[in-house]
């Protein structure tokens, strides 16, 4: 995502002819978009995106269960160890 933002900034600077980007080749200005495309292709092909989404869902589920246990008056395992 950062490379898309960088690409947009480079693109605007090139279009508005702001130095030093105005002097750069279009290939260099558009390169961050290629990097973003390559990253998203790799992330989807290897399952990285899905794995991170599942980790976030598991963390939310664990936090929700912990909150509910504390609300019902059960002592959590984290607090027992202290």
For 32-67, how does the pLDDT look when each residue is reduced to its tens digit (9 = 90+)?
999 999 999 998 899 888 888 899 999 999 999 998
Q: Whose CA is closest to 36, among 2, 71, 74?
A: 2
**Predicted TM-score of the model (pTM):** 0.63
Give CA–CA dist 40/49, Å, rounded. 9
Residue 45 neighbours by CB distance under 10 Å: 9
């Amino acid at each position: 995502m950062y490379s898309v933002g960088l690409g947009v900034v480079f693109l605007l600077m090139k279009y508005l002819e702001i130095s030093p980007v105005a002097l750069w080749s279009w290939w260099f200005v558009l390169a961050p978009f290629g990097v973003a495309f390559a990253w998203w292709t790799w992330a989807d092909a290897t399952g990285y995106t899905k794995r991170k989404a599942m980790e976030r869902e598991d963390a939310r589920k664990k936090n929700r269960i912990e909150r509910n246990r504390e609300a019902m008056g059960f002592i959590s395992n984290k607090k027992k160890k202290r």
